[in-house]
Amino acid sequence: MKNDLSAIRNDYGNRALNESELPKDPTLLLQDWMDEAINEGLYEPNAVVLSTTDSDGFPSSRVVLLKAIQDGKLVFFSNYSSAKGKELEKNPKAGLLFFWPQLHRQIRIKGNVERISDAHSDLYFKERPYESKLGAWASAQSEVISGREAIESKYSFYKGKFKDKEIPRPAFWGGFQLHPKNIEFWQGRSGRLHDRLVYGRDGAGWGIWRLAP
């Protein structure tokens, strides 16, 4: 190898994560960390790795953008006919992973997933940029295509079809919401003695425990 990956090492700062400072609801801490990432000017702080399971039982991961933390649920959007959409339909359980290296933080979340209402998806779709709306119509996401020109041709077709018209949300595109059942907050510490605090469902509330780093 050109570069020795084993030699890459970075120490972490002195931020701490203490049980006594935690809110009872983990989504409040998630929102606080998200706000801090936004205020620090991190590029796409709402980017999150979504992991599902394919039909052969293999994990399948990709980056999506979290669009809301609402009533304790995490909302993202996709083509329902995409690989992730089909995988979630067959197995509506998923994992999410946020990683903010500049803050030495990551959050691991797992839970059950369901579609949001059509009305909610409609409201979000109306807020999307014009080009993104056309892209939703043009892309048969995850399907094999003949080349770049195929997607550009479909984009041009829908651009003409919806010229001077409001672009409606495709029925095959919309939102999902993940209901967390387990959330782990990881704060990097010096000497690899990281703080790992986990929230787990405990009846109607949450239990909290610490993991060894």
Coil, strand, or helix at residue 76? strand
Tell me how crowded residue 71 is: count the other CB atoms within 10 A of its CB: 9
Q: How far apart are the first and last CA of the chain?
A: 30
Hey, which residues are catalytic here? 192
Residues in Cβ contact with 89 at an 8 Å cutoff, skipping those fewer than 6 apart: 80
Q: How far apart are CA 211 and CA 85, in angstroms?
A: 33
Q: Residue 49, Cβ neighbours under 10 Å: how many?
A: 15
Looking at the DSSP assignment, which residues form a beta bridge with residue 179?
Answer: 112
CA nearest 77: which of 140, 122, 143?
122
Q: Quick one: CA torsion of 126, 131, 134, 140, rounded to 10 degrees?
A: -110
Burial of residue 203 (CB within 10 Å: 0-12, 13-18, 19+) is exposed
